[in-house]
Amino acid sequence: MLRVSNGVAISLLKATNGQFFSVQFKSRGTGELRTIVGRTGVRKGVNGSGMRYNPADHDAITVWDNGNVPNAKGEKSEGHKTVPLNSIRELRAGGAKFRVAGHS
pLDDT at 103: 67
What is residue 93's predicted lDDT score, i.e. its pLDDT?
93
| 67, pLDDT greater than 80 | yes
pLDDT tier for residue 58 given thresholds of 50, 70 and 90: confident
Note whether 23 and 63 are within 8 A (CB): yes
All residues at 6 or more sequence positions from 78 whose CB lies less than 8 Å from its CB, including other chains:
64, 65, 66, 67
- Specify the higher pLDDT residue, 78 or 83: 83
Q: Give the pLDDT of residue 45.
A: 67
The dihedral through the CA atoms of 56, 18, 25, 97 has a sign that is negative
